[in-house]
Structure 1
Amino acid sequence: MKALLLCAALLTSSPLYAAQLLIDLGSGSRTWQTEELLKHPAAQTIKIKDDVSYHRDMQYRAVPMAALLKGLKTDDHVQAVALDGFAAELNAAPLLDTQGSQAWLAIEDPDKPWPRLAADKPGAGPFYLVWTDPQAGHISPEQWPFQVARIQRLAPVAERFPALAPDPKLASNDPVNQGFSLFQKNCLACHRLNAAGDSQFGPDLNIPYSPTEYFSGDFLKRYIRDPQSLRHWPQAKMPGFDSSVLPDQELELLLGYLRHMAGRKQLP
Structure 2
Amino acid sequence: MRVCLLLLTGLFTLPLYAAQLQLDADALSRQWSTAELLDHPQAMVIEVPADVSYKRAMHYRAVPLAALLEGLGSDDHLQAVALDGFAAEMPAAPLLQAGPARAWLAVEDPEQPWPPLAAGKPSAGPFYLVWTDPQRSGIRPEQWPFQIARLRRLQPVEQRFPQMRPDPALPANAPERLGFALFQQNCMACHRLNGGGDAQVGPDLNLPHNPTEYFAAPWLRQLIRDPQSLRQWPQSKMPAFSEAVLNEAELDALLAYLEHMAGRKS
TM range (shorter): over 0.9
Question: SS of 1:22's equivalent?
Answer: strand
In 2, distance between residues paired with 1:218 and 1:97?
39
Q: Name the structure 2 match of 1:69.
A: 69
Q: How does 1:83-102 map to 2 (within 5 A)?
A: 83-102=83-102
Is the 8 Å Cα contact of residues 26 and 152 (structure 1) preserved in structure 2? no
Other-structure match for 2:129: 129
Residue equivalent to 2:119:
119
Aligned to 1:244: 244
**Pair 172,76 (structure 1): closer, same or farther in 2 beyond 3 Å:** farther
The alignment status of 1:188 with 2:188, answered yes or no, reads: yes
TM-score between both structures, scaled by the size of structure 1: 0.91
Cα drift, residue 170 of structure 1: 2.1
Q: TM-score, normalised by structure 2?
A: 0.92
Counterpart mapping for 1:245-260 below 5 A: 245-260=245-260
Three-state SS of the structure 2 residue aligned to 1:122 is coil
Unaligned residue ranges in structure 1 (runs of 5+) = 1-13
Root-mean-square deviation (Å): 1.2
Could you report, residue by residue, the CA deviation over 1:24-79 in whole angstroms, capped at 9, with x for unpaired residues? 22333111011111111111101112211111111100001111111111121100
Residue type of the partner of 1:262? A
The residue identity in structure 1 corresponding to 2:147 is Q
Change (3 A) 1:203 1:15: farther
For 1:47 and 1:160, the matched residues in 2 are separated by 36
1:165 and 2:165 are equivalent in the alignment: yes
- How far, CA to CA, are the matches of 1:75 and 1:172 in structure 2? 21
Contact 1:94 1:103 (C-alpha < 8 Å) held by counterparts: yes
- Contact kept? 1:25, 1:69, Cα under 8 Å: no
- Runs of 4+ with deviation above 6 angstroms: none
Query: Residue 179 of structure 1 corresponds to which residue in structure 2?
Result: 179
Q: Deviations over 1:163-184 (max 9, x none)?
A: 1111122234322111101100
Same amino acid, percent of matched pairs? 64
> Hey, what does 1:5 align to over in structure 2?
none
- Please give the alpha-carbon distance, in whole angstroms, between the structure 1 residues aligned to 2:212 and 2:139: 25
Q: Which residue of 2 aligns with 1:229?
A: 229
2:16 aligned with 1:16: yes
Q: Distance in 2 between matches of 1:168 and 1:26?
A: 31
Which structure has the bigger radius of gyration? 2
**How far apart are the structure 1 equivalents of 2:262 and 2:137?**
31
1:210 aligns with 2:210: yes
- The aligned residue for residue 151 of structure 1 is 151
Once structures 1 and 2 are overlaid, which stretch shifts more, 252-261 or 129-138?
129-138
Read off the aligned partner of 1:136 and give its amino acid letter: R
